[in-house]
């Protein structure tokens, strides 16, 4: 009988833990879009405007010239 009480106690413990895990999963909600988390995250960083400027320069340099190479 001692063995059956131990099994019952373990089962009750597992059921409590499962209920807690379900509660946590249901309360967390959807993960959301990763992009929403990073948009604007660099705002106010002192060098961010310089990074944007350099990125524009690099993209501009990669474009073909307007005169068609002539």
- One DSSP character per residue, 6-66 reads HHHHHHHHHHHHHHHHHHHHHHH-----HHHHHTTTTTT-TTHHHHHHHHHHHHHHHSPPT
- Domain layout of the chain by residue ranges: 2-62
Full-model pTM: 0.38
Interval 38-49: pLDDT, tens: 888 888 888 988
Higher pLDDT, 27 or 69: 27
Determine the pLDDT at residue 9.
92
* Number of other CB atoms surrounding residue 31 within 10 Å: 7
């Amino acid at each position: 009988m001692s063995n059956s009480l131990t099994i019952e106690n373990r089962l009750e413990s597992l059921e409590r833990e499962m209920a807690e895990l379900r509660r946590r999963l249901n309360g967390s909600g959807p993960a959301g879009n990763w992009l929403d988390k990073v948009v604007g995250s660099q705002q106010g960083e002192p060098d961010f405007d310089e990074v944007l400027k350099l990125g524009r320069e690099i993209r501009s340099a990669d474009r073909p010239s307007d005169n068609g190479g002539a």
